[in-house]
Structure 1
Amino acid sequence: MEEKRKHQRTEINEPAYVSAGGSVMRCVVRNISPDGAAIDVDNPAFVPAQFRLVMAGGSSTRDCTVIWIREKRIGLAFVAPTDVRAPG
């Protein structure tokens, strides 16, 4: 299989949350890069196509789009820059 990622992923095992439309679901981030991540969830059927990924420690929050789902693992692309600041 051809590798399509721009950046290599870093393997991690950190708790996080899928947040969308006022509901929150626990997940575990398995790997991450500047462009995306892979998460494990109990039931992928309840994960919307777009959501906010919130790291449990509060270290970061990223808007995401689901790219693929394989069993309980979901591949994500980050859709917003890490640090957005107002001009000035």
Structure 2
Amino acid sequence: MIEKRAAQRHRVFKGGTITFEGSGIACTVRNMSEGGAAVDLDSFVTLPQSFTLSIARDNFVRNCRPVWRNDTRVGIAFVQ
């Protein structure tokens, strides 16, 4: 498999929140890079084309878009 990421991802295990349309969905951030992350959701949720990922303990907030999906894991790109 050819690696397409511009930046190396680092494994993490952090609680996060995906927010859109006034709703918050708990998620687990599994890996991160400067440009994106992979997050696990408790169940299948249809995500919009734009949402916010927050990790409260790190004061981390980024606007995001989904890039790929595999059941309850979602690959996201940070939007600048």
TM norm structure 2 = 0.92
Count of aligned pairs between the two proteins: 80
Alpha-carbon displacement from aligned partner over 1:4-62 (angstroms, at most 9, x marks no partner)? 00110010000000001100000000000000000000223332221000103152100
Relative to its length, the structure with more strand (as a share) is: 2
Partner of 1:27: 27
Q: Which residues of structure 1 form unaligned runs of 5+?
A: 81-88
Partner of 1:52: 52
Q: TM-score, normalised by structure 1?
A: 0.85
- Tell me how far apart the structure 1 counterparts of residues 12 and 30 of structure 2 sit (CA, whole Å): 5
Q: Equivalents in 2 of 1:73, 1:61: separation in Å?
A: 19
| Contact 1:31-1:38 at 8 Å conserved across structures | yes
Structure exhibiting the larger radius of gyration computed from Cα positions: 1
Alignment RMSD, CA only?
Answer: 1.1
Does 1:61 pair with 2:61?
yes
% same residue: 38
Structure 2 equivalent of residue 39 of structure 1: 39
- Matched residue type, 1:33: S
Q: Distance in 2 between matches of 1:3 and 1:26?
A: 29
